[in-house]
Structure 1
Amino acid sequence: MTHTIPAALGDAADRFGDHPAYVQDGEVVSFLELLRRVRRAARAYVALGLQPGDRVCVWAPNSIGWVVAALATSYAGGTLVPVNSRYTGHEVADVVDRTGARIVVVADGFLGRTQVDDLRAASDLSSVLAVIDLVDLPDLDLGSVTTADVDRLAESVSPDDPADILFTSGTTGRSKGAVSAHRQTVGVARAWGELGGVTGQDRYLVINPFFHSFGYKVGIVTGLLTGATLYPVATFDLDETMQLIETERISVLPGAPTIFTSLLNAPGRADRDLSSLRLAVTGAAVVPVVLIERMRDELAIDQVVTAFGMTEAVVVTMCREGDSAETVATTCGRAVPGMETRIGPDGELLVRGDYVMLGYFDDPEATAEAIDADGWLHTGDVGVLDDDGNLSITDRLKDMYISGGFNVYPAEVEQTLARMEGVADVAVVGVPDERMGEVGKAYVVGTARPDDVIAYAKERLANFKVPRHVEVVDALPRNLSGKVLKTQLRGD
């Protein structure tokens, strides 16, 4: 069984050969061709001076080139550092400098920006050997480095070597880099693929960003292990997505809840044939129950499952095929093989097992704070486990607020309001109140009027849970993983 990314790539080329690995904008790349491109890029990295263990940052949207740049890093024995494609030059420079990255691969001009200039303006990039525009990667000078040279490097990679450093979304302060070993990245991708029943017959639409574990680990790496054909999406466009599903007969679609909400509410959906979808996997701290019901009923997806994961542990729990509709709609499933869960004394979810990160990059204090002496990762999420071990996330510890002495979990209020007609999206935060300490404020997207929202909540919730303020907004602020940025709503 393969336990490193280079081994998974080589094995995929042997097993799946000319079967399409990637399809994007009319370009089809087989598993054999993918290996050829990765080997060439790895030779270029080594020719530039990359050494085993060196970091490579990839700052670009989803593309076949991104996959090549990333896999070449592993093939040359390096450590991949994916960077959020929407980051500014200053934010990327911070990651480059903190990780001492030797190579930075950039999609210069993405979204009409000047990434390379912005990066150079933000830092002297003292650790960097080269900044490479992604379009130039196939044509870089190879020097005297041979394919045999990089094959030897690929074979020397150990399952315990660091494979990647994924930075957290930074919604609670400065982002931290979660380090995973090859055995962890490959292992979690395998577990996810097996639980989803992913095979070489699947056509897998990857809307999730490759810089995120949902796109990279259970996208790119799961594709290598299963032979599924991946369709990368650089920027989410609703009509284009529906067209892709219809024309390419997409069968697997993981994504944040907002993706499925958009599909369900799309004006042209009735004219599209989306019947090829067989597996949809969604997850976030909280998924509206009504969304799962609509995905099954209105999109007619055979297998809708929810899962829970985080940068520090990728996939922790997942529903299984055959789970009841209620289990899928109200829980995130139970621990995946190799992981265990328990609830701490303050209601916090603790997780332990094979896929918990090695630690935060160059930050032993933060690592010790996150992972206790017994190996339990403290997630910061409040949750409950039922008798079968199915996890329900009730909220983030930091999002809970106390109103009149009572704990209020905004997620419960949001689940209630999400069922109201005229509410397309909703987020609730605690705001200061002279008398109650804090009260709820609901930010609502849709046509519902504030007074009606409050009246609806009063009928269904205890008084202390009812939001005292309602503001109708055009959209909720979210990061690219789909999480609502409640720090912005609260003005933290």
Structure 2
Amino acid sequence: MSTVQHDLALTIPAAVARAARLFGEASALEDGNCRMSFHELERECLRAAAAFLACGLRKGDRVAVWAPNSAEWIVAAIGAQTAGGVIVPLNTRLRGKEAGYILRRSQARILLTVGEFLGVRYPELLANEQLPGIEHTVLLAGSAPGSKSWNDFLMRGAHIPDAQVLGARDAVRPEDLSDLLFTSGTTGEPKGVMSAHGPTVRTFAAWCDTVGLRAGDRYMIVNPFFHSFGYKSGWLACLLRGATMLPVAVFDAGEVMQRIVTDRVSVLPGAPTLFQSMLAHESCGKIDLSSLRLSVTGAATVPPILIERMRKVLGFQTVLTAYGLTEAPVVTICPPGTSDELVAQSCGKPIPGIELQCVDDDGRAVPVGEPGEVLVRGFNVMRGYFEDPAATREAIDAQGWLHTGDIGMLDEAGFLRITDRKKDLFIVGGFNCYPAEIEKILSEHPAIAQAAVIGVPDERMGEVGKTFVVLRSGAQLDTAALIGWCRENMANYKVPRQVEFVTALPTNAAGKVQKFQLLAT
């Protein structure tokens, strides 16, 4: 264990206090005109915590955050956690029906959002949703009828004594929940993954140690905060190591590359599509990206040529791949010094203290080099699914092994390679898509009798959705109209890019759709 970890905070609010103590006036956060040192960040987080306490937030209450990456997102999330709250990050691409389900399921009392982002007015998306549990809607940016501004919200905490705020912070224990990240699955209903402070901090301290994040790094966080890639291996990792957070709300390859120059960015993780877009941009090779030092990628198949070009063309000194899932956000990472070929072909070795095995259908470990379902056990595994003991028992067995649903194999040196997915999920530009969830939404279309969704290869996104549709008798529907309807009712990355109308779906004797036949079409 490193000397840094001996002084490791065991909760996220404690990590903020530790960062203020260790890194003081160093730059913690830069977002447009907003500049904060680690001392200033701690002060703003305590101010936000006071506001949550003034609103009656109790320990364990859920606070939903539905907004793009920003300084306010970070301060609000930490403020809620400092007051004892559990944050529920929502994907900014969700539509009203999808967001409404999560808000009700999580029993969130406070919603933090924005008036508008990329032409979408978030409060309006929820206009037809029944949300009796939401007591306060606070806008981190923009305006909307019936919502409080972030500044007005902060003012509510002015009368809360400092001792009360610090008492609430000190009352947060490592075993208390820090967040609920919702993930979909084979049932089609999103499930809340319960993560606690202590395991979260320990997991991402191990991530920092392995990838080599260090004080003074300037970390551009393009990965969205609603995902553990942007939240936990993003701004939380920066807090743990004293790196500067540079949030990016919208990815634009040209703007990002210009910011790398002007902001002297040294760390830029992301999905493979991010780097493919940068490499394809007209400015690539014409501007100085020499500040870049470290990247961590994954979330999809990584072509070996991409790793090579990230080094040679974009100038990264270190490019690593990793593997994780919402239920265990970091499982394996390629240690520094791993060859480009192995970085591309594997997702690394288990982080220290984590057990990993590949097993057959009978639960027996398979030999080295043989494929089997990846099982994980250790402090990085979730507490369970929120108020869903049946789903928790299905995912985590009596011996504590998390069944990931991914198929992989281990080599002699302990490197893991993911070879297939036992689940139906496919990945669109780094976002997990579960056919059952998309099919459930499609089934609500009045013209559709049946729908089946699969992932198909796509050069830019890695995979995209394709749906096979059986229409109701007498109904009419074309591809453009269906895709347009989908865009109104589901997040853009879930929208099928291809539609095929069929008279019937292939099924087995039990009536289950045989998707392998659809994949073969």
Deviation at 1:169, TM superposition (A): 5.1
CA contact 1:205–1:250 (8 Å) conserved in 2? yes
Could you tell me which residue of structure 2 aligns to residue 116 of structure 1?
A: 123
State the partner residue of 1:261.
Answer: 276
Question: In structure 1, which of residues 122, 128, 143 is the aligned counterpart of residue 134 of structure 2?
Answer: 128
What SS is found at the alignment partner of 1:255? coil
Asked if 1:358 corresponds to 2:365, the answer is no
| CA distance in structure 1 between the partners assigned to 2:411 and 2:419 by the alignment | 13
Instruction: Please tell me the residue identity of whatever aligns with 2:34.
Output: E
Structure 2 residue 380 is matched with structure 1 residue 374: no
Preserved CA contact (<8 Å) 2:304 2:340: no
Paired letter, 2:198 = R
Unmatched runs of 5 consecutive residues or more in structure 2: 1-7, 142-148, 362-371, 428-434, 436-453, 461-485, 501-514, 516-521
Matches within 5 A, 1:38-437: 38-123=45-130, 125-135=131-141, 136-140=149-153, 141-142=156-157, 144-168=159-183, 173-346=188-361, 347-398=372-423
Give the superposition deviation at 1:173: 2.1
Change (3 A) 1:120 1:487: closer
Match 1:33 to one of 29, 40, 50: 40
Q: CA deviation at 1:55?
A: 0.4
Quote the offset at 1:486 in angstroms.
10
Q: Which moved more, 1:309-318 or 1:92-101?
A: 92-101
Q: Give the deviation of 1:280 after TM superposition.
A: 0.7
The residue type paired with residue 371 of structure 1 is I
> What amino acid is aligned across from residue 80 of structure 1 in structure 2?
I
Scaled by the length of structure 2, the TM-score of the pair is 0.77
> Partners in 2 of 1:108 and 1:59 — Cα distance?
11
Instruction: Give percent identity, aligned residues only.
Output: 48
- 1:285-320, Cα deviation, whole Å (9 max, x unpaired): 422222222212322311110000111101100001
Q: Is the 8 A contact 1:107 1:134 kept in 2?
A: yes
Aligned Cα root-mean-square deviation (Å): 2.6
Whether the 8 Å CA contact 1:332–1:391 is kept in 2: the answer is yes
Change (3 A) 1:115 1:50: same
Unmatched 5+ stretches in structure 1: 401-409, 412-428, 430-439, 447-476
Aligned partner letter, 1:387? E
Deviates more, 1:53-62 or 1:326-335: 326-335
Output the amino acid matched with 1:138. N
The answer to whether structure 1 residue 2 and structure 2 residue 4 are counterparts is no
Aligned counterparts of 2:73 and 2:230: Cα–Cα separation in 1: 11
- 8 Å CA contact 2:272–2:302 kept in 1: the answer is yes
SS at match of 1:36: helix
Q: Which amino acid aligns with 2:411?
A: D
2: CA distance between counterparts of 1:375 and 1:486?
A: 36
On the 8 A contact 1:55/1:79 being kept in 2, the answer is: yes
SS state at 2:246 partner: strand
> What CA deviation, in whole Å up to 9, does each residue of 1:227-251 have, x standing for no partner?
1001000010111100011111111
* Number of positions where the alignment pairs a residue of Structure 1 with one of Structure 2: 423
1:487 Cα offset (Å): 7.5
1:204 CA displacement: 0.3
Is the 1:293–1:329 Cα contact (8 Å) retained in structure 2? no
- Asked whether the 8 Å contact 1:6–1:74 carries over to 2, the reply is yes
Shift of 1:89: 2.1
- Inter-CA distance 487–376: structure 2 relative to 1 (3 Å threshold): farther
Q: Aligned AA for 2:161?
A: T
**C-alpha contact (below 8 Å) 2:357/2:375 kept by paired residues:** yes
Cα distance, 1:175 vs structure 2: 1.6
Q: Determine the C-alpha separation between the residues in 2 that align with 1:393 and 1:486.
A: 26
Q: Conserved in 2, the CA contact under 8 Å of 1:102 and 1:127?
A: yes
Matched-pair contact (CA < 8 Å) for 1:163–1:182: yes
Q: Provide the rounded CA distance (Å) in 2 between the counterparts of 1:442 and 1:260.
A: 21
Report if the CA contact (8 A) 2:102-2:190 is conserved: no
State whether residues 374 and 407 of structure 2, in contact with CA within 8 Å, keep that contact through their aligned partners in structure 1: yes
Counterpart of 1:131, as a letter, is T
Q: Secondary structure at the match of 2:118?
A: helix
Report the Cα offset of residue 338 of structure 1.
Answer: 2.1
Which is richer in helix?
A: 1
116 and 218 in structure 1: CA distance in 2 versus 1, 3 angstrom threshold: same
* Letter matched to residue 185 of structure 1: T
SS in structure 1 of the partner of residue 170 of structure 2: helix
CA–CA distance in structure 2, aligned partners of residues 99 and 330 of structure 1: 38
The residue number in structure 2 matching 1:414 is: none
Query: Aligned partners of 2:12 and 2:398: how far apart in 1?
Result: 29
- Contact map agreement 1:381 1:397 (CA 8 A) in 2: yes
Deviation at 1:119, TM superposition (A): 1.9
